[in-house]
């Protein structure tokens, strides 16, 4: 019997519905700026938080006690996959994501873990047959097992580098076999706890070389998806090398990978880095590395990565505004890297968490599309930079300090400060959200 036995597939019932289990705003076929809402948002369910996470925290053990969490063999892994696909049938979202360690039991050796992994990948492939749900991205968990405590590619022990390289090869093979659209690397322990025992320069070179090997392997096997790095400033490490968009871009450039690798941006990570989510999205878009998003928020009072489902429409609207302006998510999507609260024990909580998050994103997308279509922000922007359209301004960028000096000395250059109109623009946004 299904873990979600009595829960029927969710349907769009509209904003006035009184039901806890329906979509009020997410209406997959509704057209938004000429494209189906489902194709804009490209929702994915994350295997780790929704099925592997057991509800523990630093002060207490598991609370969820899901049936498939009672053991760690292949049978339990298959029961977990059954529950996952049952949830996918209820939600009807187009994608899911995994780490190797979420879907397969750990074996006693590398070879045994791999054979478990391959068995589950085949089991999932059989379940995908005849269903519409697809793999948005695969990734390797190289931060939970104790062998990775000092990092994966950045580890002082070359044997851990080797183990990590072999793991990523296997995960890329599986991602490709499942038709995955992207492959993600998040460097959970690619950083340090103390500088006193850390050779920063060496570790970054190891990480750069590792990423180059990932890109080479992608081309070797003909994987057509996008390689994505996920920035995060800290947690679990005190300091992580893939700190934020700006840092990651500098890293990619240093190792010549900026044309090969894009970024998977997470709302909560942006906040941890001291940015807004829309800042990270707009910057990645300006640098040409916007890839995909993890749409899970933090609690603003706690100061760590609480991974909650999104519930703030105005924030989400600004995120999608910059995504729409960038031309959309491409091969990326909106992954709920979000976990329930520890007290939310029931199957119904898992369904409602996702449904609510999808509704919040749908409202945000519609507000964003309305702002794009209205064009008010774009018009204000062109007006603000209009001076740069003049031939003198354009010529200046091809000139040098001396010629600019001569022009200023000749007169006719007389800067007049203009209002930035911040409050008017904030009021404008408030009309749509």
Cα angle 223, 322, 365; round to 5: 90
Picked from ligand XLS, Ni ion, none, the partner binding residue 139 (CB below 5 to 8 A depending on kind) is ligand XLS
| Among candidate residues 8, 31, 1, the one with its CA nearest the CA of residue 348 | 8
Picked from ligand XLS, Ni ion, none, the partner binding residue 244 (CB below 5 to 8 A depending on kind) is none
Residue 76 annotated among the catalytic residues of the structure: no
Closest to ligand XLS by CB, 7 or 271: 271
Judged by CB under 5 A, does residue 102 bind Ni ion? no
> Taking the complex as a whole, how short is the minimal distance between the CB of residue 129 and ligand XLS, in angstroms?
26
Picked from ligand XLS, Ni ion, none, the partner binding residue 334 (CB below 5 to 8 A depending on kind) is none
Residue nearest ligand XLS by beta-carbon distance? 186
85's tokens: 């696909």
> Taking the complex as a whole, how short is the minimal distance between the CB of residue 264 and Ni ion, in angstroms?
7
Alpha-carbon span 311 to 343, nearest angstrom: 18
> Taking the complex as a whole, how short is the minimal distance between the CB of residue 373 and ligand XLS, in angstroms?
32
Closest to Ni ion by CB, 27 or 226: 226
Residues that bind Ni ion (rule: CB under 5 A) add up to a total of 4
Judged by CB under 6 A, does residue 43 bind ligand XLS? no
Judged by CB under 6 A, does residue 278 bind ligand XLS? no
Footprint of Ni ion on 294-333 (CB under 5 A): 294, 305
Closest to Ni ion by CB, 94 or 187: 187
Indicate which single residue of 230, 244, 280, 359 sits in contact with ligand XLS (rule: CB under 6 A). 230
Indicate which single residue of 186, 243, 309, 321 sits in contact with ligand XLS (rule: CB under 6 A). 186
Indicate which single residue of 27, 116, 139, 267 sits in contact with ligand XLS (rule: CB under 6 A). 139
Judged by CB under 5 A, does residue 266 bind Ni ion? yes
Footprint of ligand XLS on 319-348 (CB under 6 A): 337
Judged by CB under 6 A, does residue 305 bind ligand XLS? yes
Residue 102 annotated among the catalytic residues of the structure: yes
Judged by CB under 6 A, does residue 232 bind ligand XLS? yes
Judged by CB under 5 A, does residue 242 bind Ni ion? no
> Considering 25, 49, 99, 354, which one is annotated as catalytic?
99
> Taking the complex as a whole, how short is the minimal distance between the CB of residue 270 and Ni ion, in angstroms?
10
Footprint of ligand XLS on 242-271 (CB under 6 A): 266
Alpha-carbon span 333 to 354, nearest angstrom: 15
> Taking the complex as a whole, how short is the minimal distance between the CB of residue 265 and Ni ion, in angstroms?
9
> Considering 86, 100, 102, 244, which one is annotated as catalytic?
102
Active-site amino acid positions? 99, 102
Residue numbers at the binding site for Ni ion (CB under 5 A): 266, 294, 305, 337
Residue numbers at the binding site for ligand XLS (CB under 6 A): 99, 139, 184, 186, 230, 232, 266, 294, 305, 337
């Amino acid at each position: 019997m299904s873990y979600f036995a009595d829960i029927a597939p969710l349907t769009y019932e509209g904003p006035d519905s009184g039901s806890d289990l329906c979509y009020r705003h997410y209406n997959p076929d509704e057209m938004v700026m000429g494209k189906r809402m489902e194709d804009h948002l490209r929702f994915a369910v994350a295997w780790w938080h929704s099925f592997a996470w057991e509800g523990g925290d630093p002060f207490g053990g598991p609370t969820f006690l899901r049936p498939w969490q009672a053991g760690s063999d292949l049978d339990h892994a298959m029961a977990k996959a059954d529950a996952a696909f049952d949830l996918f049938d209820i939600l009807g979202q187009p994608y899911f994501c995994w780490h190797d360690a979420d879907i397969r039991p750990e074996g006693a050796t590398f070879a045994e873990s791999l054979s478990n992994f391959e068995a589950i990948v085949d089991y999932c492939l059989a379940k995908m047959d005849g269903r519409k749900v697809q793999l948005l991205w695969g990734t390797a968990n190289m931060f939970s097992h104790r062998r990775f405590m000092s990092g994966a590619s950045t580890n002082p022990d070359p044997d851990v580098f080797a183990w990590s390289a072999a793991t990523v090869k296997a995960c890329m093979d599986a991602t490709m076999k499942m038709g995955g659209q992207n492959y993600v690397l998040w460097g959970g322990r690619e950083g340090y706890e103390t500088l006193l025992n850390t050779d920063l320069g060496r570790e970054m070179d190891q990480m750069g070389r590792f990423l180059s090997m990932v890109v080479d392997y992608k081309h070797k096997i003909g994987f057509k998806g996008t390689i994505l790095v996920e920035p995060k400033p800290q947690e679990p490490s005190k300091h992580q090398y893939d700190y934020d968009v700006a840092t990651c871009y500098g890293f990619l450039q240093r190792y010549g990978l900026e044309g090969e690798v894009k970024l998977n941006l997470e709302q909560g990570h942006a906040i941890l880095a001291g940015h807004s989510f829309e800042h990270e999205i707009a910057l990645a878009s300006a640098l040409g590395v916007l890839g995909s998003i993890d749409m899970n928020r933090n609690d603003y009072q706690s100061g760590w990565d609480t991974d909650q489902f999104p519930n703030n429409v105005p924030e989400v609207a600004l995120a999608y505004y910059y995504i729409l302006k960038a031309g959309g998510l491409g091969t990326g999507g909106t992954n709920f890297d979000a976990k329930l609260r520890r007290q939310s024990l029931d199957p119904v909580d898992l369904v409602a968490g996702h449904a609510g998050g999808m509704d919040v994103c749908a409202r945000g997308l519609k507000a964003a599309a309305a702002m794009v279509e209205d064009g008010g922000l774009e018009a204000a922007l062109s007006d603000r930079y209009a001076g740069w359209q003049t031939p003198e301004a354009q010529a200046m960028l091809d000139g040098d300090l001396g010629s600019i000096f001569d022009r200023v000395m000749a007169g006719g250059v007389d800067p007049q400060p203009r209002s930035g109109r911040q409050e008017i623009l904030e009021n404008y946004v408030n009309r749509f959200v």
